[in-house]
Amino acid sequence: MKVSYFCAPDAHPQDQLTSLVNTFKSQIVEDGFDEPADGVKKTSRVGVMQYGELKNDLDRIVNIVFDVNKWNFGFDLYQPNSFSTLLYNEYDAYYKGEYSWHGDGVLKEQYDIKLTALLNCSDTEYEGGKFKLFINGEWDIDEFDKPGSLLVFPSWIQHKVTPVTAGVRKSMALFFTGPNLR
């Protein structure tokens, strides 16, 4: 049976999240940019990074995603390379950080984003910032609230982050691509 999403609650040790966040912040490309979906509200600080600079820190996560894909989704995926893009997001209560309903995708003919992998990197407590998927209705993905958890789902599934009401919610997004689905 195929699943709509998969969550690994202990994909990254919680006691190593502060170190991971600091590593992410040290690798942000200064002239990087985010391309949020058209017509949606996104209020978060975004850092763009390259996988090659973080390969050692993320090797376990990538291996989990490939294993999850093999057993649950069955997509033909490309291995991330040194130039693959990662996004680091901070949703801050100060400006009610959120990201309204959207799907992840690209406007390229040669490949498609097939899986979105999100790592909850929050190393301090926060309130709000619930992650939701829209699969025949709105689903709260409560297991992703746990710091260190990894959520993997087909990228075209609509999803959102509700406003953060206290603290800062931190996450990393890695998009797994493969041959065009057409």
Helix (H, G, I), strand (E, B) or coil at 161: strand
Whether 17 has a pLDDT exceeding 90, the answer reads: yes
Return the number of other C-beta atoms located less than 10 Å from residue 13's C-beta: 12
pLDDT of residue 1: 45
> Residue 170 carries which side chain, given as an amino acid letter?
K
Domain spans, the chain: 6-179
Which contiguous run of DSSP H or E holds residue 88? Answer: strand 85-92
Alpha-carbon distance of 55 to 86, in angstroms, equals: 11
pLDDT at 35: 66
* In the chain, % of residues over pLDDT 70: 92
pLDDT in tens, 31-84: 555 667 678 888 888 999 999 989 999 999 999 999 999 999 999 999 999 999
State the pairing for strand pair 6-8/85-92.
unpaired
Whether the full predicted model's pTM is greater than 0.85, yes or no, is: yes
Instruction: Judge residue 99's burial from the number of C-beta atoms within 10 Å of its C-beta, 0-12 exposed, 13-18 middle, 19 or more buried.
Output: buried
Q: What percent of the chain has pLDDT over 90?
A: 77
Q: Is the pLDDT of residue 109 over 80?
A: no
Mean pLDDT score across all residues of the chain: 91
Give the Cα separation of 41 and 166 in Å (integer).
19
Whether CATH 2.60.120.620 fits 6-179 = yes
CB 172, CB 57: distance < 8 Å:
no
Residue from 52, 63, 78 nearest 11 by CA: 63
